[in-house]
Amino acid sequence: MKKYAFGADIGGTTIKLGLFETLGNLIEVWEIPTRIEENGKYILIDIAESIEEKLEEKKISKLDVEGIGIGVPGPVGRDGNVLKCVNLGWGVFNVEREMTTLTGFKAKAGNDANVAALGEMWQGGGKGYSDIVMVTLGTGVGGGVIIGGKILTGINGAAGEIGHIPMKDDEEFACGCGNKGCLEQYASANGIVTTTKRYLDAHPEAETTLRDMEKITSKEIFDEAKKGDKVSILMVNEVGRMLGKALAAVACVINPEAFVIGGGMSKAGDILIDAIKKYYTKYAFHASRETVFKMAELSNSAGIYGAVRLVLGE
């Protein structure tokens, strides 16, 4: 194993890059803009050029670099083929082969949520476990599945799409994926706000401090719940019910050692985890009932950690 490796986490506006020692130590992290013009043709070129500049700056020989791992915001097959990445403008092509051509390094790519899960298993909240499911609660609900220390991708990279588990048959509005009644329509940061607004409209008699707010956000709902606001507590409970039930279903298939909860909404802390665990315990198959719940620890750096782990060999 060579001494250094690079990790890249491609986002819609910025690309996070990390220089690591292959033992797992992060040496430096930096960002470059994501240039999506001309169908994203400059994205990998910019990554390659930035890495070249970092090698020169640090006076590191290319011979000492194990390779580069890449997290991509879209499905990535087992062979390194990106199967369309709409927000980057990418069609179908082999991102690993292209990156190796540009840099001369071994390259490995994976879906960004899966790669983040791998990072949390390696050096974060899932450290010490080899079978985990990571749940990312932010604008949407993302997921990543690690089995035996390896990413479970599925046949076309869509494994771990926890946010699109169908939860309600009577949903009027469509999810971003086109279906109706997906988990992320209720259990994401946007979802809890939408559910709360619907509740307030349907129950004008309900007294709550949320009515006094100019703009309701998920953070304010959790904050008010912690202060004892009854409507806010009800909404947090509903998020816990949705997530607890969905993860109980996931556990019936995966039977993980741990669920690792991350994303911006996870900052709510114990009030959220306790609500999830309450309903998870209620719905889970008896053999999976004791699954551990852990908080993610790597924050926005999980992707670059996982990308490096990917290139080192899962």
Are 77 and 147 contained in the same domain? no
Domain that holds residue 49: 4-122+301-312
Are 96 and 203 contained in the same domain? no
The answer to whether 84 and 50 have CB atoms below 8 angstroms apart is no
Are 84 and 132 contained in the same domain? no
Are 140 and 85 contained in the same domain? no
pLDDT in tens, 247-302: 999 999 999 999 999 998 999 999 999 999 999 999 999 999 999 999 999 998 99
Are 112 and 194 contained in the same domain? no
pLDDT in tens, 64-83: 999 999 999 888 888 888 88
* Mean pLDDT of the region 125-137: 96
Whole-prediction pTM value? 0.89
Are 173 and 221 contained in the same domain? yes
- The dihedral through the CA atoms of 301, 302, 303, 309 has a sign that is positive
**Can you give the CATH number for the domain in which 223 is found?**
3.30.420.40
Are 152 and 222 contained in the same domain? yes
Q: Could you tell me which residue, 79 or 96, shows the higher pLDDT? A: 96
What amino acid occupies position 117? A
- The dihedral through the CA atoms of 75, 77, 162, 277 has a sign that is negative
In the chain, how many domains are there? 2
Distance between CA atoms of residues 185 and 180, nearest Å = 8
pLDDT of residue 314: 67
pLDDT of residue 86: 77
Are 77 and 169 contained in the same domain? no
Tokens 């997921």 correspond to 143
Other CB atoms within 10 A of residue 98 CB: 18
DSSP 166: B
Are 87 and 181 contained in the same domain? no
Calculate the average pLDDT of the chain.
95
pLDDT in tens, 14-39: 999 999 999 999 999 999 999 999 99
Distance between CA atoms of residues 88 and 172, nearest Å = 30
pLDDT in tens, 200-220: 999 999 999 999 999 999 999
